[in-house]
Structure 1
């Protein structure tokens, strides 16, 4: 699971990697559940064949999905991650999954607890090559008394066999990791139909990630 991450700060870096302008108000850069920040989706108008409509748009949203039927925003404190194995049936996520409301969450790094010392030590996980990471997610829109509020969740998969991500969380807990998308699959994910969505639920190669320092995975947690 991931409840804490670092958003992409630099505007030009955001545009260069994700191919879209960030929102005018990028929101929080140090992100926790219920914090506002940015996410990327495919505009609904992109399906009508208008070449003037871009393939991607970046919006402001809250980390922690708030389903359309919610009565307030408190549910978002528990819906920041969605298990790929159950998201199609869980009430909080099933509508967004059914309608393929796919999004990408731009991050510089995520933070996970390393319990190997007997206590949780927050560990920064980022890409080896220094590029931002695009995490697969689902988005929703909720009609609040003040207007439409967008929100999103990160999708997760089992990480028991992952060389890096199996190191995190308590020894008795199932190992989980967020779904990190290869950059060349960004548009494929945003366009994917519901029946094809599970094809993207794959672990990101451990040798493309590093934890704690600027050293490769094999020289940090695994030494």
Structure 2
């Protein structure tokens, strides 16, 4: 599971790995469900681009944006079946969320303590995601949103540490840079092989009991007009 992360602002890394500049996208210091964050997608007309999108997928048929409070993570085992996600999956609306780290609760002390998870090599990470677009019926605003895909992580040396004892352990899918193109352009590539728990040694974790909470509104809007 992932409910809170730090969007990367490392423009050099995104230019070298994806050919885009993440610093051109406005987002808060930390992202929570319904906050804006940078994602990369391959638009059929505009090619690979980086856009701001709300964390918590809002399916095109939703009556309002509140559904995004519950759709920030999508299980890979059921993503093709769940009403909120199945259209994005069928259309292969795949994206990469760009972040420096994310946070999970560790219960080893008997209470939830916030821990930080990051790449061991110190580089930003690209997390496999799905996206959709939704038109606000009240304002006509076109909103991009996304959900991170998760896989079982029982027994994983890092991701197996988090959430309450007895609960299933889950992890986001951390793609390697050499996998980015295959995920963004999946028409001729099987994607199931990419949906794996991070191999041992890729991630490290550490206690992070306090953190800055972004002052940006939880309703920080995604960019408009990018998918019309």
- What's the TM-score once normalised by structure 2's chain length? 0.85
Q: Name the residue aligned to 1:196.
A: 190
Call closer, same or farther: CA 1:203–1:141 in 2, change over 3 Å: same
Q: Name the residue aligned to 1:148.
A: 142
Q: Name the residue aligned to 2:30.
A: 30
- What's the TM-score once normalised by structure 1's chain length? 0.87
Question: Which residues of 2 match residues 44-193 of structure 1 at below 5 A?
Answer: 44-45=44-45, 54=47, 56-144=48-136, 145-193=139-187
Q: 2:31, 2:193 → 1: CA distance?
A: 28
Question: Which range moves more in the overlay, 103-112 or 195-204?
Answer: 195-204
Q: Secondary structure in 2 aligned to 1:166?
A: helix
Q: Is the 8 A contact 1:23 1:38 kept in 2?
A: no
Question: Which range moves more in the overlay, 146-155 or 63-72?
Answer: 146-155
- Measured after TM superposition, the shift of residue 192 of structure 1 is 1.1
Q: 1:206, 1:87 → 2: CA distance?
A: 25
Q: 1:8, 1:166 → 2: CA distance?
A: 24
Q: Secondary structure in 2 aligned to 1:204?
A: coil
More helix by share: 1
Gapped regions of structure 2 (runs ≥ 5):
208-228
How many correspondences in the alignment? Answer: 205
- Measured after TM superposition, the shift of residue 194 of structure 1 is 9.2
- Measured after TM superposition, the shift of residue 203 of structure 1 is 1.2
Give the root-mean-square deviation of aligned CA atoms.
1.7
Gapped regions of structure 1 (runs ≥ 5):
46-52, 214-223
Question: Which range moves more in the overlay, 64-73 or 200-209?
Answer: 200-209
Call closer, same or farther: CA 1:13–1:184 in 2, change over 3 Å: closer
